[in-house]
Amino acid sequence: MRLTGVELRQIAVPLVAPFRTSFGTQHAREIVLVRAVTDDGEGWGECGAMAAPLYSSEYTKAVADVLRDYLIPALAEVAQLDPWRVAPALEPVKGHRMAKAALETAVLDAWLRAHGISFATWLGATRERVAAGVSVGIMDSIPRLLDAVGGYLAEGYVRIKLKIEPGWDIEPVRAVRERFGDEVLLQVDANTAYRVADAHHLARLDPFGLLLIEQPLDEEDIRGHAKLAEIVRTPICLDESIVSARSAADAIALGACSVVNIKPSRVGGYLEARRVHDVCVAHGVPVWCGGMLETGLGRAANVALAALPGFTLPGDTSASDRYYATDITEPFVLADGHLDVPREPGLGREPIPERLESVTVTKEWITVRS
Ligand code: OSB
Ligand code: MG
């Protein structure tokens, strides 16, 4: 397979409701989409980076720059392209994992379509549908939170994740437990908002029987998470800290986490995401699939990944309508608390042209060979 060129597209899609986390409030999702065009068909990749560098150091403008100026030129050097040759070709460029993931995913989609293989089959999926959890943002008041959680439970979501920050942690968790009971699968995500000195405060979450506390401390504070795990009984799960299979192996060996959130974009793509999964399975560490408020394109690949055997906890793999009034692909729909894993070649989803155009902010074409 030979790469002909790449289209970079910036889109902006309004969210159905503002999504507030400890790092900020999103009203719309600004996303870079990559379309890889080859002599054997084309493929799509969605970049997880957000508009501002507040969740991770990457952001949409930097993603477009590094793809145009460094990553696509590096990939252009590869004469015979296949999914395994992408990461080695991009390896001289430091960091920028989300940008690399989007480019690799576009090549992988093109290659899988050309070979008639679905993402799920190629990754080694063992399930036909995956359990859907939902991530619930920080709200203005407890009654609003209870309305939101009640709505999601009524829709059938099988696990609730509450975003927390100092001042919005013990009381929201207590209120959700009191209203909806102890059987609800419940977890919290701090997005690095605490310090190790908050350990005894976070231990006050222990009586509520949470599945896990996600990323309480700074992404680089592996030792702090290990210290926290000695004081807090609720399992510690890492998100931001896990950027590769190596960092997962280190965090597990150092006792910093007993659960891992796998986001393919954060670790540089689906090949590395599968390696993270394999490392965790080898250590008996449960994993679940995280999300970056993806459209149907990124969601299709995440749902395929979440169908691997080590994904024993429900993921942030919610239905399209949890995020968008109109998705850019055929939507993912909740059925009995689950999403169906696409079975068609490649991602099994593609942008609907009119919808894609209606959310497009800019697009550029980068010729690789003519
Ligand atoms: O920390 O998991 C996170 C969304 C954007 C950035 C970071 C995170 C999130 C979520 C929502 O929690 C996940 C989703 O539903 O896609
Ligand atoms: Mg998280």
CATH number of the domain within which 159 lies: 3.20.20.120
Q: Is residue 39, in this structure, part of any structural domain at all?
A: yes
Q: Which residues, at least 6 apart from 31, have a Cβ–Cβ distance to it below 8 Å?
A: 10, 11, 12, 13, 46, 47, 60, 295
Both 87 and 135 in one domain: the answer is no
pLDDT greater than 90 at residue 274: yes
Cα–Cα nearest to 333, from 361, 301, 296: 296
Q: Considering only CA atoms, which residue is closest to atom 4 of ligand 1?
A: 292
Q: Do residues 322 and 181 share a domain?
A: yes
| 327 within domain boundaries | yes
Q: Are residues 72 and 143 both part of a single domain? A: no
Residue 299, domain member (yes or no): yes
Question: For the stretch 281-312, what's the b/e string if a residue is b when 16 or more beta carbons lie within 10 angstroms of its beta carbon?
Answer: beeebbbbbbbbbbbbbbbbbbbbbbbbebbe
d(CA 297, CA 268): 16
Task: With respect to residue 214, please indicate whether it lies within any of the assigned structural domains.
Answer: yes
Res. 35 pLDDT band, cuts 50 70 90 = very high
Q: Running DSSP on this structure, what letter comes out for residue 305?
A: H
Atom of ligand 1 nearest to the CA of 261: 2
- DSSP helix/strand/coil, 364: strand
Q: What would the mean pLDDT of 285-289 be, rounded to a whole number?
A: 98
What pLDDT, on the 0 to 100 scale, is given for residue 88? 98
Kindly report the pTM of this predicted structure. 0.97
pLDDT digits (tens, 9 = 90+) for 231-261: 999 999 999 999 999 999 999 999 999 999 9
Could you tell me if 79 and 222 lie in one domain? no
Q: Are 123 and 343 in contact (CB under 8 A)?
A: no
If asked whether residues 193 and 327 sit together in one domain, one would say: yes
From the number of C-beta atoms within 10 Å of its C-beta (0-12, 13-18, 19+), residue 313 rates as buried
Residues 232 and 133 in one domain: yes
Taking the CA of residue 191 as reference, the ligand 1 atom at the shortest distance is 1
Domain that holds residue 56: 3-116+352-367
The first and second tokens of residue 295, run together, are 């459209």
Q: pLDDT tens for residues 73-119?
A: 999 999 999 999 999 999 999 999 999 999 999 999 999 999 999 99
Residue 254's identity, in one-letter code, is: L
The ligand placed nearest to the CA atom of residue 213 is 2
Sign of the C-alpha dihedral computed for residues 89, 289, 49 and 294 taken in this order = positive
DSSP character at residue 71: I
Contact 225, 216 (CB under 8 A): yes
Whose structure tokens read 């799509």? 44
* Domain contains 346: no
Does residue 104 lie within any of the structural domains?
A: yes
Domain count of the fold of the chain:
2
Q: What is the mean pLDDT of residues 319-331?
A: 98
Residues with CB under 6 A from ligand 1: 55, 135, 189, 191, 239, 290-293, 316, 318
* Ligand lying nearest the CA atom of residue 21: 1
**Gap from CA of 8 to ligand 1 centroid (Å):** 23
**CATH code at 81?**
3.30.390.10
323 CA from centroid of ligand 1 (Å):
11
Tell the residue nearest (CA) to atom 13 of ligand 1: 291
35 lies in some domain = yes
How many Å lie between the centroid of ligand 1 and the Cα of residue 161? 10
Q: Which atom of ligand 1 is nearest to the CA of 294?
A: 16
Whether 131 and 41 map to the same domain: the answer is no
Active-site positions?
Answer: 163, 263
DSSP string, 122-166: HHT---SEEEBEEEE---SSHHHHHHHHHHHHHHT-SEEEEE-BT
Ligand 1 centroid to residue 78 C-alpha, Å: 34
Nearest CA to ligand 1 atom 6: 292
Determine contact, residues 126/307, Cβ cutoff 8 Å: yes
Distance CA 97, CA 166 (A): 30
362: enclosing H helix or E strand: strand 360-367
290 CA from centroid of ligand 1 (Å): 7
Q: Does one domain contain both 292 and 315?
A: yes
Q: Which residues pair with 162 in a beta bridge?
A: 136, 188
- Of 1, 66, 60, 63, residue with least CA distance to 26: 60
CB 218 within 8 Å of CB 244: no
- Residue 345 belongs to a domain: no
Q: Do 315 and 361 lie in a common domain?
A: no
Give yes or no: residues 94 and 227 share one domain.
no
Percent residues over pLDDT 90 in the chain: 99
Q: What's the whole-number average pLDDT of the chain?
A: 98
In 2-32, which positions are buried (b, 16+ CB within 10 angstroms) versus exposed (e)? ebebbbbbbbebebeeebbbbbeebebbbbb
Give the per-residue pLDDT at 285. 98
Same domain assignment for residues 157 and 228: yes
Which residues sit with Cβ closer than 5 angstroms to ligand 2, an ion?
Answer: 189, 214, 239
d(CA 289, CA 357) in angstroms, rounded, equals 29
> Which residues are CB-neighbours of 155 under 8 A, at least 6 positions away?
319, 334
Give the H/E segment covering residue 183.
Answer: none
Sheet holding 3-21, edge to edge: 41-46, 24-38, 3-21, 360-367
Same domain, 127 and 100: no
pLDDT at position 370: 81
